[in-house]
Structure formats: C-alpha cells, structure tokens
Structure 1
Amino acid sequence: MTRFDDHERRRWAGRAEAYARSFGRLCAYPAPALLDAAEVDAGTRVLDVGTGPGGVAALAAARGATVTAVDAEASMIATARAARPAGHFAQAVLPLLPFPTGVFDAAVANFVINHVGDPLAAVVALRRVVRPGGKVAVTVWPHPQPPLQRLWGQAYEAAGGPPRPDLPRVAADRNFDRTPAGLTGLLRAAGLDAVRCETLSWVHRTDPEDWWAGPAAGIGQLGLLLDGTTAEFRRRARHEYDRLTAAHLDADGRLNLPTAALLATGCLR
C-alpha cells in the first residue's frame, strides 16, 4: 500500500451514505455498458471490485450472474450487503484480492482505478482472477475534465480559496494518462489482449442539495479542498456553487450537468 492508498482509505472511511446520496448516482450510469463490455450475463461468475453501495453487483445479479463483490471500505460493504442481498460481499483492497487465480469469468471495476496508488498492479490483480478467455472491464474519469467535474474547482477558485493543499498523489512512475490511449496502454501493460476503449458521454440529472451533499461530507475534489477551511469560506463556496449551477437548472429545479467517462475492456488469452 502506498501513501496515496492510505490517504484514500482515510478519506472514504464511514462515508457510504453520503456517497450513495451524491456521487453514487453519478457513478451508476456506466454500469450497464460496463457489464456489457465484460459480457456479463446469466451464469457468468463476475467479480465486482470497488462495489461501493452495490449498484453494479445488483445489476449483474439481475442479469442472472453469480456475483462476488468487494470494497476497501467497510461502510460500503455494509451498505451493499443490506441493500443487495443477492451475491457474496466482502472487504478487500486492490491489488490484494483474496481469490484463487482464474476463478471468475469476468472482473469489473467501476471508477476504482482512480483510487489506487498502483494502477498497473490493480489491473494485473483483476487479470489474475479471471480465467483464460475471461474479460476485464474498467471505467475512469477522463482528463481534461468534463464540465461536471470542472465545477468543483471553479467553485473553490471563485470563492477565493487558499492555495490548494499538497495532497498525496499517485507516483509519476506508476500513473497513467486519463485518455483512451493511456487507459488502453495500462490494460495492455497488465497483460490483457483485444483491448478497446470507448468514451461514454451523458448529462447527469440530480437534485442540487444531493449533489452538494458529497463535498459537504468530504467526498470528491471539492470535499478535499474544503477540508480544514473556515465556516465562512464554506459558506462562500456554497454561494459560488449555487451561482455556477444556476445555468444548469431545469424547470423542475434539478441540475443537468454534462459529463463523460472512459470504459476500457480486455481479454485474458
């Protein structure tokens, strides 16, 4: 485990409920395409790594798959287990997956590679647990950031935030470009074949209060930036958030924010 991994574990501790209310709904969008890419169907033995509240696992179970789901955060597993009774749920941290080699037909990781200190080791671990001919599918947020993700930094800057803290990062020699070329290169370096990548674009529709609940609970880019700031600065940040999102409100008062994700898949020959 790297310093970045330790930082991630602390940031997510006990935050399952806030995640499910805010970013969990955003991250659920690519789930059908992720499972399609991994060819998850009735009878597929699938491992869902970084299951969060269990949305991908539930969708896989609804397809008739045999589901095993893991997450590094205990509160996520408790939430997933309570809400999604179908399947086996356990706590596990990439790249240390506690499963025999080749035991699954597919392994999926929805926005998980963003949160590990050694992305290549993480994908190698996913490859290890699938059988020959099995599929690995992952999603990541792209860079440059889509409008939705840029919103947080814009609110922080507009509120006159202090210099951004020097937070732990993935070491440069272990990182990869959040581009189609960078993500496919990562999967190929992990030993996967027939690698392909597509960009998924959509408009995330959500309640403004639910969307703010993530940063307010310390989740996401703005949540990290708000950590340790004064109550007055948080008030200004919320004001700027309201100002910046006003143009994205529909007639029902819900936010409509454009975003995108990269979905890559590969096969173990």
Structure 2
Amino acid sequence: MTLFDESERRIWAGSARAYADSFAKLCAYPVERLLDVAGVGAGARVLDAGTGAGAVAVAACARGAKVSAVDAEPGMVELARQAAPAADVQVAALPELPFADGEFDAVVGNFVLNHVGRPRQALAELRRVTRPGGTVAVTIWASPPAPGQALIGRAIQAAGVQRPSDLPALAPEDDFPRTERGFADLLASAGLAEAACEALSWDHRTDLEEWWSGPASGVATIGKIVVGQTPETRAEIKRRLVDLSAEFSGPDGSLLLPHVALLAAARA
C-alpha cells in the first residue's frame, strides 16, 4: 500500500453518510452511461469496484445483472448493502480483489481510480477478474477541473489556505494525464485492448448549503483541508464560497456547477 492509499483510507474513514448526503448525487451522473458502455444487461456478471454508497450497484441490479460490489470503507459497504440488497457487497480494496480470474463479464469503477495510489496496477487487477473479451469501464475527473468542480478549491485559496504538505500525491511514475488520450493510454498500459475514452460534461444542480455540507463535514481531501482550519478560517472559506458561487446561480437560486468527467472502456 502506498502513502497515497494510506492517506485515502484515513480521509474517507467515517465519511460515508456525509458523502451520501452531499457529493454522492454528483458522482451518480455517469452511472447509466458507464453501464451502457460496459454492456451491462440482464444476466451479466458485474463487479462494481469502489461502490461508495451503491449507486452503480443499484442501477446494475435494476438492469437484471448479477452484481458484486466492493469498497475499501466499511461505512460505504453498509450503505451500499442497504441500497442494493440483491448485490453481494463486501469490503475489499484495489489492487487486490477477492475474486477468481475471469469471474465477471463486465467490471466498472465510478471514480474509484481517483482514490488509488497505483492506477495501472488497479486496472490490471480489474482486467484480471474480467473474462477474456469482457469490458472494463471506469470514470475519473478530468484535469484541469471544470469550473464547478474547482469552486470550493477557489474559495479555499481565496481564504489564504494552502494544501497541507503532509497530504501525499501520486508518485510521478504512477501519475497520468487526466485527458481523453491520457486516460485511454493508461488503460492500454495496463494490458487492456481497444481502449477508448469520452468526456462527459454536465451542470450539476445543487444549492449552496448542500454543496458546502460535504467539505464542511470533512468529505474527501478537500473536506479534510476545510475541517483542519480554525473556526474563523472555515467561516472565511464559506464567505468566499458564497461570493464565488454567485456566477453559477440559477434564476431559482440553485447552483448550476459545470463538471467534466472522463469515461474510458476497453476489452480484457
């Protein structure tokens, strides 16, 4: 396990419910397209790697698939079990999965690669558990981030807060460009065939309090940065967020936050 992996375990420990109440709706946007690209239908054996609160598992079960799902965080596993009682959900983490070679017709991972220290090794493991000719389909956030995704980070910077030096990043040899070409090349480098990638763009509809609730509760890396500040600095971050969010306000007072994700798929 890399230092990045260890950091991710600490960051997400105990955050399941706060994630479900905040960022989960955003992350669910690509789910149906992800399953379409993976060819998930009735009777398909599907693995949802990094299930989170279970959105992909729920959607795959609704299609009549035979679904297994894993997540590294026990709280997420409990939420996913409640949401998708027909799925087999268990605690497990990339790059080591408790499944046989070629066990699944399709393997999907919705944003899970954002949270692993060795993405190529993780993809190679997803390929291992996919039957020959089956599909691996995964999403990540694009970089540089779309304006909506960057909003909270802008508020943090405007408040004078810097990223803590003890938060590890991916090692240079494990990193890759978060572009369509870069993501497709990553899949190919993990031994997957016919890799292709597309960009998904959408405006996430939310409101200021919902959008603030995730980081204010310590969800994800950006949340840990927020809750690590003094009460005065947290209040300043929120004040800056209120000011910056005005450019994304809809006529009904909601926020319309532009986001871009990358969806890549390939054959095992």
- Normalising TM by the smaller chain, what interval? over 0.9
Aligned residue number for residue 2 of structure 2: 2
SS in 2 for 1:155: helix
Where do 5+ consecutive residues of structure 2 fail to align? Answer: none
* 4+ residue runs over 4 A deviation: none
Q: TM-score, normalised by structure 2?
A: 0.97
Write the distance in 2 (CA, Å) between the matches of 1:169 and 1:145. Answer: 17
- Matched residue, 2:169: 169
Deviation at 1:63, TM superposition (A): 0.6
Query: Hey, what does 2:118 align to over in structure 1?
Result: 118
Task: Find the counterpart in structure 1 of residue 133 from structure 2.
Answer: 133
- Could you say which residue in structure 1 is the equivalent of 2:17? 17
Verify the 8 A CA contact 1:4 1:169 in the aligned structure 2: yes
- 1:14-35: CA deviation from partner (whole Å, max 9, x where unpaired): 1111111111100000001100
Which residue of the partner structure matches residue 185 of structure 1? 185
Match of 1:53 in 2: 53
CA distance in 2: counterparts of 1:202 and 1:176, whole angstroms:
23
Give yes or no for contact 2:159–2:233 (8 Å, CA) kept in 1. yes
Q: How far apart are the structure 2 equivalents of 1:252 and 1:79?
A: 32
1:261 matched residue in structure 2: 261
User: Could you state the TM-score of these two structures normalised by the residue count of structure 1?
Assistant: 0.97
Percent sequence identity is 54
Q: Which residue of 2 aligns with 1:252?
A: 252
Deviation digits for residues 165-210 of structure 1 (CA, Å, limit 9, x no counterpart): 1111111111111111111111001111111000000000012211
Distance in 1 separating the partners of 2:232 and 2:197: 44
- CA displacement, residues 60-88 of structure 1 (integer Å, 9 cap, x when unaligned): 01011000010000000001111221211
- Maintained 8 Å contact 2:48/2:107: yes
Name 1:209's counterpart in structure 2: 209
* TM superposition shift of 1:222: 3.0
Q: 2:215, 2:227 within 8 Å by CA — same for their partners in 1?
A: no
Tell me the SS of whatever aligns to 1:173.
Answer: coil
Q: Secondary structure at the match of 1:172?
A: coil
Structure 1 spans left out of the alignment, 5+ residues? none
Higher alpha-carbon deviation: 82-91 or 121-130: 82-91
Aligned residues: 267
CA distance in 1, matches of 2:44, 2:208: 38
- Root mean square deviation of aligned Cα: 1.0
Matching residue of 1:79: 79
